[in-house]
Amino acid sequence: MWLTSSSIGRKFVMALTGICLVLFVTFHVLMNAVALIWPTAYNVVCEFLGANWYALVASAGLAVLFIIHIVYACWLTLQNRKARGADRYAVTSRPPQVEWASKNMLVLGIVILAFLVVHLIQFWAKMQWQELRHAELAVLPVLDGTPVPPAMGTLMLQLAFSEIWTPIVYIIGFIALWFHMNHGFWSMLHTVGWNNNVWMPRLKKIGCWWTSIVVLLFIAQAVVFTVHAQNKYYTTDSALQEQYAEYWDNYAEKMQNEFFSEMTKAVKAVNDPMAQRTAQQEFVEKSGRQFMEEAQLLDSISKVQFPGVMPGKNFGNVQQTSMQIGYMIGNTQQPN
């Protein structure tokens, strides 16, 4: 097939996947910009892009694009080296920074890939992946001893950017991205072979401006997120605290409802009233401790993630249920 068998076909695939990746990166920097100007809305966006079918389809498509782009990049580099030997670059009429980037595209790509691995471990693995595998509280990422829910992007920013090495690694990645994207635009225009003396320089300028704006925005974001994380803004801002309180109150309601619906099922499974009482006692003994532990955890969460907001009514209900369970199983040790 032309797209795999000819050199120009392979370059075309690089250009096409490259354009899609540029569009993704542009969308991504704009999404991060929401975190700068309206952090609570950022959490809503993160929730929207969780483990829903449309977000999963987009993530899978993106992964395929990255893989094709990387595989073809290695293939083209090997092919060029074989064809040209030591004299790998016959064309030298390039601006100096394009010339430098051109010789180092593979290395720049590897630096970006290394950044991506760190980045996905810090964000994707703690967000979409946790939602996908329906992670329990006990295995979620931890902030001051409390679990961070996958949709709370601002708390993930707090976790990632309170590490001082994070902005350093990110800014190295962004600089590599600038050279890589800038040369990518240049290379794509040459692959398309549009030798228009007026539009070629204009498009190259547009590519350079586009890349510079995207990368400068990423750098500004990394700096602001670091300053905010160091000042603990993401756990002290009152609007964010309200949002966390609401999230956890909904969680408490779900937890309480699930516990009672499971207990009702266990009781209804037997007919005799005496046996029902025993079934209830057995259920509470079996599942009650876990409920009490989670109730205690919710109490710690309220102190760490929203200390300035009164927990909602479902929080109170959970604490009350926990106390009743304590009495039922003869464990009077109650959460603080």
- 127: contact with ligand HEM by CB under 6 A: yes
- 263: contact with ligand HEM by CB under 6 A: no
Token digits of residue 224 = 């602001």
Q: CB-wise, 218 or 306, nearer to ligand HEM? A: 218
Report the Cα 274 to chain-centroid distance in Å: 52
Q: How far apart are CA 30 and CA 50, in angstroms?
A: 17
> By three-state DSSP, how is residue 311 classified?
coil
Q: How far is the CB of 59 from ligand HEM (least distance, A)?
A: 3
Which value, in Å, is the radius of gyration of the alpha carbons in the chain?
27
- 178: contact with ligand HEM by CB under 6 A: no
- 222: contact with ligand HEM by CB under 6 A: yes
Query: DSSP assignment, residue 127?
Result: T
- 319: contact with ligand HEM by CB under 6 A: no
Q: How many residues bind ligand HEM (CB under 6 A)?
A: 23
Q: Where are the beta strands (DSSP E) in the chain?
A: 142-143, 146-147
Q: CB-wise, 44 or 270, nearer to ligand HEM? A: 44
**Strands 142-143 and 146-147, bridge-based pairing:** antiparallel
Is 238 in contact with 308 (CB distance < 8 Å)?
A: yes
- 123: contact with ligand HEM by CB under 6 A: yes
What are all long-range contacts of 97-103, with beta carbons under 8 Å and residues at least 24 apart? 97/179, 97/182, 98/182, 98/183, 98/186, 100/179, 101/179, 101/180, 101/182, 101/183, 102/183, 102/186, 102/187
- 25: contact with ligand HEM by CB under 6 A: yes
- 170: contact with ligand HEM by CB under 6 A: yes
Got the DSSP string for 43-90? HHHHHHTSS-HHHHHHHHHHHHHHHHHHHHHHHHHHHHHHHHTT----
Q: How far is the CB of 127 from ligand HEM (least distance, A)?
A: 4
Q: Which position among 101, 105, 177, 279 is part of the footprint of ligand HEM (CB under 6 A)?
A: 177
- 207: contact with ligand HEM by CB under 6 A: no
Question: By rule CB under 6 A, what string of x and - marks binding of each residue 30-69 to ligand HEM?
Answer: --x-------------x--x--------xx--x-------
CA distances 141 to 132, 146, 166, 251, Å, are 15, 8, 17, 17
- 218: contact with ligand HEM by CB under 6 A: yes
Token digits of residue 134 = 């329906």
Q: How far is the CB of 151 from ligand HEM (least distance, A)?
A: 8
> By three-state DSSP, how is residue 147 classified?
strand
Q: Which position among 166, 221, 319, 322 is part of the footprint of ligand HEM (CB under 6 A)?
A: 221
Candidates 8-16, 70-78, 116-124, 321-329 — which segment interacts with ligand HEM by CB under 6 A?
116-124
- 241: contact with ligand HEM by CB under 6 A: no
Q: CB-wise, 94 or 119, nearer to ligand HEM? A: 119
Q: How far is the CB of 18 from ligand HEM (least distance, A)?
A: 12
Q: CB-wise, 185 or 218, nearer to ligand HEM? A: 218
- 152: contact with ligand HEM by CB under 6 A: no
Binding site for ligand HEM (CB under 6 A): 25, 28, 32, 46, 49, 58-59, 62, 112, 116, 119, 123-124, 127-128, 153, 156, 170, 177, 218, 221-222, 225
